[in-house]
């Protein structure tokens, strides 16, 4: 069983035993093939992505070298890697698991369920996707293609969080919604919409003090990181909360 983790901690394991690939380029190539699984990738395109400053013949030679090294360290790799003369294609099966594939499959299921207004199915699929998303895609890699994939997967996770927060809020499940909103802020600490979502949920849960604290945290982060004040929509939420009399916290709702 080949297990490939690319979200958060990057690791490759065969039958639960970790495999240490010799070079970062090998690991990056494996990540590229897995994130583009099911779609043939032209060799010259891959070579240009990995060695953009090298002449094409040299880039192709580099690619052949990394493929050779990958096959040497993962002897079973040709079970999943179809190498034609002009393309490379990674294909998953029941003996190869990749967290990025689990995340995207669950995200697609959640998006379809949401479009069909199937709340129960959306909850299940979105929760599975969020469990699979343990961190950013290959966080130590800064190739242009990796940055683009990291951003795409990150935004997909944020969108799922927004949808699940909305479902929990609309059913009055403020405790779970608050935890999800906190995770959203962890993912996007400079997006004010996340703080506004959290402080509104805390206010709905009856914890006005926590809501005001969230606003002050937002103010502090924006000032420290960007040198700006919160925008008027966020400030208006604060002013509304500060002017309201202190409500009673709802019984059984976690702050």
| Confidence (pTM) | 0.90
Helix ranges (H only) for 188-230 are: 192-204, 208-226
HSE of 109, CA atoms in CB hemisphere, 13 A: 17
Are 114 and 236 members of one domain? yes
What is the tally of structural domains in the chain? Answer: 2
pLDDT in tens, 208-245: 999 999 999 999 999 999 999 999 999 999 998 888 66
Q: What is the CATH number of the domain that holds 62?
A: 1.10.10.10
pLDDT for position 245 = 62
144 pLDDT band, cuts 50/70/90, is very high
pLDDT in tens, 118-141: 999 999 999 999 999 999 999 999
**% the chain with pLDDT above 90:** 87
249 falls within a domain: no
Domain that holds residue 42: 2-97
pLDDT for position 84 = 87
pLDDT for position 27 = 94
Check pLDDT > 80 for residue 246: no
**Measuring CA to CA, which residue among 212, 231, 230 is closest to residue 221?**
230
Mean pLDDT of the chain: 93
Asked whether the beta carbons of 254 and 177 are under 8 A apart, the reply is no
Are 232 and 108 members of one domain? yes
Are 18 and 128 members of one domain? no
Average pLDDT over residues 177-189: 97
């Amino acid at each position: 069983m080949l297990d490939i983790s690319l979200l958060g901690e990057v690791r490759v394991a065969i039958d639960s035993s970790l495999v240490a690939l010799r070079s970062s380029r090998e690991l990056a190539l494996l990540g590229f093939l897995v994130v583009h699984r099911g779609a043939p990738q032209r060799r010259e395109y891959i070579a240009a992505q990995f060695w953009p400053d090298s002449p094409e013949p040299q880039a192709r030679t580099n690619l052949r070298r990394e493929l050779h090294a990958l096959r040497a360290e993962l002897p079973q790799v040709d079970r999943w890697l179809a190498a034609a003369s002009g393309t490379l294609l990674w294909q998953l099966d029941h003996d190869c698991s990749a967290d990025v594939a689990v995340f995207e499959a669950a995200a697609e299921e959640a998006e379809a369920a949401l479009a069909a207004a199937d709340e129960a199915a959306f909850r299940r699929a979105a929760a599975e996707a969020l469990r699979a998303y343990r961190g950013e895609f290959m966080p130590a890699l800064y190739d242009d293609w990796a940055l683009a994939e990291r951003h795409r997967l990150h935004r997909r996770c944020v969108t799922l969080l927004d949808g699940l927060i909305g479902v929990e809020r609309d059913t009055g499940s403020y405790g779970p919604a608050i935890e999800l909103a906190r995770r959203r802020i962890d993912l996007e600490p400079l997006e004010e919409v996340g703080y506004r979502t959290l402080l509104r949920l805390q206010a709905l849960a009856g914890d006005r003090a926590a809501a005001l604290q969230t606003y002050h945290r937002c103010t502090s982060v924006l000032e420290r990181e960007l040198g700006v004040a919160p925008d008027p929509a966020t400030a208006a939420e604060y002013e509304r909360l500060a002017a309201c009399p202190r409500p009673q916290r709802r019984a059984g709702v976690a702050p």
